[in-house]
Structure formats: structure tokens, C-alpha cells
Homo-oligomer: A and B are copies of this chain.
């Protein structure tokens, strides 16, 4: 959004329904006042952790194409993450494939002095796409259940708080429908030109705000649907459109 970025990641990692753990999938790397780079992960946990650990080790060492603090643009930052993903995949894929899927994907976002905030999705192949005014959000991982509310209600004019509510409701939709997603949710509301992660929050399970948000949305939705007009009868539709509405 022109006002900034809203980033949200759940914490559920699973290798089958009986091996579930809570992990952090949102990493924030910041040089206060100069750059803030956030990396969100989905996919094979060994792969994503290896990519993140290697990128952190390279921070500030000045190696071209490896050091995120040396990136002059967020485009370069996305390229560095994609290249590291390719290196880890090249290293591990052959050994991991007999046991499962080695692939991973990332959202790389943030702001570097001299640019507006930017948001990229790094595919498992290491290439990447950028969000724009016309497609203002990107998702990785279990993306389908949470997409409709963003398609319907997210507007580039939204404030960060409005967009943050939609991000949480998008997660709630996925959590209700899919076991592989779960709280806590890490969420950063990054304000344009702040170069700061001061608004990074963790919403834990059994949180009062989360309960209130779900309750308010559920009740409001029921009332909203109740207030919409009922679908027309076969006669009304036939009269209005000339379409055949009769039974078999």
C-alpha cells in the first residue's frame, strides 16, 4: 500500500498431522534509518531455515550477491534470496527427494533508502515477481482459503490497520479450514519511510483481541447475509430474464 506494508505469518510447521511444531516464519533484518528487509518463509523447514541462516551469516560481510545489507534495491535483495534458495536446493535436493519435497518459497519485502517499499514473491525456482497497485497482495504456503477476503475487500487506499485486520481475517479463514496453519501469528505493520520494525507484534493463541476479532466478524457476517435479499424464485427469474427455470 502507499502507506506501507502489512506482513503476516503463522507459526505452524508440520510434517504430517502428528508432527506439528511452532516456528517463526517472519524474519526482520533492519539497519535503523537505512533499510528494513523482511523475509517470510513457506515450504520445507530445513530448506527455509538453511536459507535464512546462510543469509544472516552473510550480513555485513560485503560479499556481492550474498550480503543483504549490500543490496542497493529491494530487487537486488529478492535476487539474493532467490540465489541462496537455488544454492541450498542444489545442495540438498538430491538427498531429500527420496523422503519428501525439498522446495520452499519466500516473500521478500521492505524498504531501502531511496526507494518506496516493495514486495516480492520468490518462487521455489529462485525467480520472483513483484506486487503492484493492481495486485496489491502476495501469498505463499496454504494460499487458497485466505484469498477471497483479500480479493474482495483489500483496497490500495486502506490504512495499515485496515489491511492488518484483513490479513488476520484471511489467516482465520485458512485456520478454520486447514490444519496446517496455526497461531501464533507474527505481524509487521511497516509504515513507509519509518525503516523500523517497532510495529512487529506476535498474536498468541488465546489472545483477547484475536477472539474479539473472530467473534465480531462471525456475528457481523451472519447479520450481513441475513440482511441480503433472498434468491429469486423460478417464476421471478423466468419472468425477469426469459431463462428456463423449470424442473426436470
Contacts and interface: CB of A to CB of B under 8 A. Distances in A.
A155 B153 CA distance: 24
Interface stretch (A96-104, A120-128, A217-225): A217-225
B241 A207 contact: yes
Contacts of A216: 227-229
Contacts of A244: 202
Given A152-B218, A201-B245, A162 B226 contact: yes
Interface stretch (A11-19, A66-74, A163-171): A163-171
A212 interface: yes
Nearest to A174: B148
A234 interface: yes
A230 B177 contact: no
A30, A200, A231 — most chain B CB neighbours (10 Å): A231
A237 B198 CA distance: 12
Contact of A248 (B197, B229, B240, B246): B197
A114 interface: no
A213 B162 CA distance: 23
A199 interface: yes
B208 A240 contact: yes
Nearest to A37: B248
A204 interface: yes
A115 B199 CA distance: 58
24 contacts: A30-B248, A144-B144, A145-B147, A148-B174, A149-B221, A151-B173, A153-B218, A153-B221, A155-B222, A162-B225, A162-B226, A164-B230, A165-B228, A169-B225, A189-B231, A198-B246, A199-B233, A199-B234, A200-B245, A200-B246, A200-B248, A201-B233, A202-B243, A216-B227
